[in-house]
Amino acid sequence: MNCPRYPGFMTSNLPREALPAEYASALEDYEADLTVHQTVSEHTRRAYCADAQSVLEFLVRAAGGEPIALRDVELANLRHWLMEIHENGASPSTAARRIAGVRSFFTFLRRSGRIEASPAERLQAPKKPGRLPAVLKQSAAETVLANTAQTPSADMEQTTEPTPVQLRDRAMVELLYATGMRVSELTSLNLDSIDFTNKLITVVGKGRKERRVPFGGPSEAALNAWLDKGRDALAAEPEALFVGVRGKRIDPRQVREVVGRATAGYSDSPRLSPHGLRHSAATHMVENGADIRQVQEMLGHASLSSTQIYTHVSLQRLKDTYRQAHPRA
């Protein structure tokens, strides 16, 4: 069975059995290795298999006659393959993913003794164009947060007093903006994650790394309202801080829907995601003078470079304000 085809590179449409014997054997063994020994999904296995076959077909076409032996493949050959997929419309992100597949294939060839070293290790992925994240305007943040408890879910009618669901939604949006935590971190919070005495939350981030993040008075008030008047009406899950209407721990999809409704019309994009609130919290802190390393610690970024995008957002805001306000701009 041949690997699936993907757009963005030319192929000679060779069936696997038409490849040189060395290539076909290596491809078959690689696919078996992905299936048996590596913890990859079926989608990833199929994609990596297609990447390997595409580069092998390229080597057949490039040789013109006697195919190059796998042990003789050089970085230059792979760069020519990369150039071809660029010329045939692959985006930078698509090309980067294909490179990952080719690196995996050549790593297998080295492990299985077919080659001495992998030429793909030095094959560089193209840089993705930088894109500033959409963020909530500071002037709109207060309005959004104040209106969250009055924004009914799609399946609920507005009432005079906030419903348990609305109290939950207000507390979730407040916490996301106040702390900049990820949606997965929010949904994994337990009741004992909150230290009301010191106004700190214990957050379990990527790699199961814990950090303690402060929260302020508005978040404290929203949490107390949810815990005092809302949670007991919904909760069946004994530990989870936030639960859905059926009482189980809330899932990220529900949180995304809540944030989308709450922020519609108030940001640079029609609806923000929870990650947009994370961007907003970090950007507003930087704009108001926070040290970038303190923001890094709050967000749980392992690398400072991940946090520095927020300085770029702030500079962009500064330039926009300058163009709008300065008579000589």
Q: Is residue 2 part of a domain?
A: no
Q: Is residue 44 part of a domain?
A: yes
pLDDT at 158 over 60: no
Confidence label for 50 from pLDDT (cuts 50, 70 and 90) = very high
CATH number, position 304: 1.10.443.10
188 plus 230 within the same structural domain: yes
Angle at which helices 164-179 and 274-287 cross, to 10°: 40
232 plus 296 within the same structural domain: yes
177 plus 238 within the same structural domain: yes
Inter-residue contact 222 to 170 (CB < 8 Å): yes
64 plus 199 within the same structural domain: no
158 plus 27 within the same structural domain: no
Distance, in Å, from the CA atom of 231 to the CA atom of 165, rounded to the nearest integer, reads 9
188 plus 319 within the same structural domain: yes
Q: What is the mean pLDDT of the chain?
A: 82
Domain stop point among 122, 148, 163: 122
Hey, which residues are catalytic here?
A: 182, 206, 275, 278, 301, 310
Arithmetic mean of pLDDT, 212-222: 91
pLDDT at 306 over 60: yes
The pLDDT score that the predictor gives to residue 304 is 66
Quote the tokens at residue 324. 């709008």
The pLDDT score that the predictor gives to residue 157 is 52
Q: Is residue 8 part of a domain?
A: no
Domain stop point among 74, 98, 122: 122
Most confident of 29-43, 208-222, 306-320: 208-222
Query: How many helical (H) and strand (E) elements, i.e. helices and strands, does the chain have?
Result: 14, 3
The pLDDT score that the predictor gives to residue 12 is 46
pLDDT at 209 over 70: yes
Q: Is residue 196 part of a domain?
A: yes
Q: 151-160, 211-220, 307-316: which range is least confident on average? A: 151-160
pLDDT at 205 over 80: yes
Quote the tokens at residue 167. 């109290």
The pLDDT score that the predictor gives to residue 42 is 82
Domain stop point among 122, 148, 181: 122
182 plus 291 within the same structural domain: yes
Q: Is residue 132 part of a domain?
A: no
The closest alpha carbon to 301, from 194, 199, 181, 193, belongs to 181
Arithmetic mean of pLDDT, 83-97: 85
Q: Is residue 11 part of a domain?
A: no
Residues 95-144: tens digit of each pLDDT: 888 999 999 999 999 999 999 999 999 998 766 555 666 778 777 877 78
pLDDT at 16 over 90: no
The pLDDT score that the predictor gives to residue 51 is 94
Residue 54 CA neighbour count, 13 Å, CB half:
27
Q: Is residue 3 part of a domain?
A: no
Q: Is residue 93 part of a domain?
A: yes
The pLDDT score that the predictor gives to residue 226 is 96
The residue with greater pLDDT, 65 or 231, is 231
The pLDDT score that the predictor gives to residue 152 is 46
Domain boundaries, position 66:
16-122
C-alpha of 186 from chain center: 16
200 plus 248 within the same structural domain: yes
The pLDDT score that the predictor gives to residue 136 is 80
Most confident of 28-37, 57-66, 139-148, 221-230: 221-230
48 plus 164 within the same structural domain: no
CATH number, position 87: 1.10.150.130
200 plus 244 within the same structural domain: yes
* Helix (H) or strand (E) segment spanning residue 202: strand 200-204
The pLDDT score that the predictor gives to residue 329 is 47
The residue with greater pLDDT, 215 or 313, is 215
Q: Which residues contact 110 (CB under 8 A, 6 or more apart)?
A: 116, 117, 118
149 plus 116 within the same structural domain: no
61 plus 174 within the same structural domain: no
Please tell me the total count of domains within the chain: 2
Distance, in Å, from the CA atom of 76 to the CA atom of 67, rounded to the nearest integer, reads 16
pLDDT at 314 over 80: no
